Amino acid sequence: MPPVLKKRSEFLAVQRGEKRRGRYFLLEVLAGQREGPARVGITVTRKQGNAVERNRMRRRLRAAVRGISEELQPGSDYVIVARRDVLDAPFDALQAELSRRITSRPRQ
């Protein structure tokens, strides 16, 4: 697992970056703003379910990120904002969607 975003200020900084909407989550990307490895943060709001469901969403997303961590761009920060569909999605589909969103290039 890549290094993790922990501070609120780090999450807010990534909000200024690009937003890539997906079926299972929203991916916010702040590309190449610093030196070092890519960092990842995961957010699940209360309206997505109770604590057990939110923690299960976080665990599934962390596992998906571990599987595609080599695709993350060094020096970039990523925030994954989960949607409730993460709970029911097949893991392969979840990982494929994450990979597709991470490797997509910004529209010109």
pLDDT at residue 108 in the model: 41
The parent domain of residue 13 ranges over 8-103
Flag whether 2 is in a domain. no
Residue 58 confidence (pLDDT) above 60: yes
Number of structural domains, the chain? 1
pLDDT at residue 88 in the model: 93
Better-predicted residue by pLDDT, 48 or 106: 48
pLDDT at residue 5 in the model: 93
Flag whether 83 is in a domain. yes
The backbone torsions φ and ψ at residue 41, rounded to the nearest 5 degrees and listed phi first, read -130, 145
Q: Residue 99 sits in a domain of what CATH number?
A: 3.30.230.10
Per residue in 4-50, pLDDT (tens digit) is: 999 999 999 999 999 999 899 999 999 877 888 999 999 999 999 99
Percent of the chain clearing pLDDT 90 (strictly above): 78
The Cα–Cα gap between 52 and 43 comes to: 14
Flag whether 108 is in a domain. no
